[in-house]
Amino acid sequence: MNAIRFTFTYLVASLIACAGHVAMAQQATGEAGAVRASEATTAGDTNSVIGRFPPGSIQSVESADIALADAEKERSAIEARFTQEKQACMPKFFASSCVDEAKERRRHALLKLRPVEIEANTFKRTARVKSRDEALEKRRQKDADAGIDRDASSTPAPFGAEAVPPTDADARAGRKPPKKAGVDRAARHEERVTRTPEEERAEEAMRAKNVVDYEKKVKAAEARQQEIARRKAEKYQKIEEKRKLKDGAIQPPGSPSATSSPTAPNAPAAPATPATTPTPAPGKAQ
């Protein structure tokens, strides 16, 4: 009896195990078919972008922008497809492995898009750098031309040359004639050399007078500062005296001077009461 029961239990367990293996095989076959179909769809969708933009086909900023826009759309489609596959994996028995396979398919699809995105971004970055370099070169050339013009207009004349009078065009434009530094220096040197002793003595006297005037101004400023300090000291002293007088006039309650009644100085004394003389009795001799 026990042997029959053991044999029956063994047969039931074997049947259950076989059914489980069959279910697992069917699920694996279905998942493999789904993976192949998804990969084929992803490859077809990605190849459409890669086919329109093969390596080296991006030669303008406009085509680079179009390639990036198409790649962004394809990236959004891949993410949406991954979300659907992930939701489809939830009811299955082996959900984690199904989700991992969906992630792997997404990774491969995104990797196929990277070359197009890299090439488009590289071309746009190179175009920006080239445009910036061209603008800098134009500005540098413009500044160089302007510098040459300035140098030509501000070139000092030879020593002893006369100043060029302004033309009518300069007068109409409001431009001033360029100054000649060499001529000015030569004129000042000539003036110093040709001065007479009287002029030198007059200049010395003027310098001495300027020194005296400066010393007077310094002394006047010092005297003014001292006067201001003295006035401030007097004002402070008056304020202190007023404060002391005010503090002396206000006595705190309970002090001896406040409780005792003050006696008026030089007050007249009260008149003395006169002594009464007794009246003698009548009939007595006086």
In a domain, 194, yes or no: yes
In a domain, 107, yes or no: yes
Percent of the chain with pLDDT strictly greater than 70: 59
Task: List alpha helices for the chain, DSSP H.
Answer: 2-52, 61-89, 95-153, 168-173, 181-193, 197-249, 256-259
Token couple for 247: 């503090």
In a domain, 167, yes or no: no
In a domain, 173, yes or no: no
C-alpha to C-alpha distances, 231 to 15, 132, 242, nearest whole angstrom: 122, 71, 17
User: Which pLDDT score, from 0 to 100, does residue 130 have?
Assistant: 92
Last residue in a domain, options 153, 176, 198: 153
- What residues make up the domain containing 229? 184-247
Residue position matching structure tokens 């890299």? 118
Residue by residue, pLDDT tens for the chain (286 residues) are 667 776 767 676 776 765 555 455 555 555 555 545 555 554 444 456 777 888 888 899 999 999 999 999 999 999 999 999 999 998 888 888 899 999 999 999 999 899 999 999 999 999 999 999 999 999 998 888 887 666 555 555 555 555 555 555 555 555 555 555 555 677 776 777 777 778 888 888 898 999 999 999 999 999 999 999 999 999 999 999 998 898 877 655 555 554 444 444 444 444 444 444 444 444 444 4
Residue type, 24: M
Q: Are 126 and 60 in contact (CB under 8 A)?
A: no
Last residue in a domain, options 153, 171, 204: 153
Instruction: Give how many domains the chain has, as a whole number.
Output: 2
In a domain, 31, yes or no: yes
Residue 91 phi/psi, 5° resolution? -70, -15
Residues 99 and 220 in one domain: no
User: Which pLDDT score, from 0 to 100, does residue 248 have?
Assistant: 78
Within 8 A by CB and 6+ apart from 166, the residues are: 175, 176, 177
In a domain, 193, yes or no: yes
Half-sphere exposure of residue 188, counting CA atoms within 13 Å on the CB side?
Answer: 5
Q: Around Cβ 250, how many Cβ atoms within 10 Å? A: 6
Q: Indicate the burial class of 42 (C-beta count within 10 angstroms; 0-12, 13-18, 19 or more).
A: buried
Residues 202 and 141 in one domain: no
Identify the three-state secondary structure at position 1: coil
Residues 95 and 146 in one domain: yes
pTM of the model: 0.38
Residues 220 and 146 in one domain: no
Closest CA to 153 of 187, 121, 176, 169: 176
In a domain, 243, yes or no: yes
